[in-house]
Amino acid sequence: MTKFVQRGVGATCLTILLAGIGHIAAAQVGHDPNSSPYHDIRLGNTVVVSGGQFDGSGGSLGVGPANGQVYSVRIERPLGRTLAAALTFAQAGTSRYIIDPTQDSLHRKSGPFDAKTSMIMLGLDASLTGGKTWRGFSPYIGATGGIAFENSLSADTSTYKFGNKAVIGPEAGLRLFLGKRLSLRGDFKLLYWKLSYPLTYKQPSPIDGTRVLAVDANGGEWTHNTYLTAGISWTF
């Protein structure tokens, strides 16, 4: 994804969020019911289709998933007027580097190579405006958790594998209702998972004796990854 598109997605989501927060902050009580800016949110299952940008840190070695476009389908089910459960299926067109510990320090790292990352996440969200919208806006905050897994990368002949990673983190978003059923969405997730490195990274290279990791280094590290999307949703 080009920097222009990345900035466009980010600006769209940020504009929606700031506009909603600004409207809510200006809210006053005592409105005539016939002209009230508050309207009930239709309860029902909701399907959200989104696209945006996934920014992965890749870890200090760069072998974890890095930046790419992300597309997702999200299914929401209300748990009352304020809470909702959400199931998200996402795929990010990420890339990562390959490290061959048998090579010398100048030639062991290559890439980046395309390596798509898929995610299945279950979230619990709370609407900050309860069961109503404020002039069509309804922000929410919540938490999400699930699993991430990388499509196999045949070019990697080392013993490193991304494998299946537990994912956890906060999320937030804003809905702009265009009607009872149709709405626009801006969503943000901060995802954490732990990369695990093979023991071969601590073994000396047969060429120059250097190691990818020091013998006393940790065998893995937690990484944080941001996930920003904009989309459209329909409530049944």
Kindly state whether residue 122 falls inside one of the protein's structural domains: yes
Kindly state whether residue 165 falls inside one of the protein's structural domains: yes
Kindly state whether residue 29 falls inside one of the protein's structural domains: no
Q: What is the CATH number of the domain that holds 162?
A: 2.40.160.20
Kindly state whether residue 83 falls inside one of the protein's structural domains: yes
Q: What is the pLDDT of residues 90-134, one digit of tens each?
A: 999 999 999 999 999 999 999 999 989 999 999 999 999 988 999
Kindly state whether residue 164 falls inside one of the protein's structural domains: yes
Residues whose CB falls within 8 Å of the CB of residue 115, separated by 6 or more in sequence, listed in order: 65, 94, 95, 96, 150, 151, 153, 162
The tally of domains found in the chain comes to 1
Kindly state whether residue 15 falls inside one of the protein's structural domains: yes
- The answer, as to whether pTM is greater than 0.75, is yes
Q: What is the pLDDT of residues 135-174, one digit of tens each?
A: 999 999 999 999 999 886 766 777 888 989 999 999 999 9
Angle formed at CA 73 by CA 72 and CA 74, multiple of 5 degrees: 115
CA distances from 114 to 42, 60, 153, 154, 203 (A): 41, 18, 8, 11, 27
Domain containing 57 equals 3-24+44-235
Q: Quickly tell me which residue has 């289709």 as its tokens.
A: 49
Kindly state whether residue 20 falls inside one of the protein's structural domains: yes
Kindly state whether residue 120 falls inside one of the protein's structural domains: yes
Confidence of residue 78 (pLDDT cuts 50, 70, 90): very high
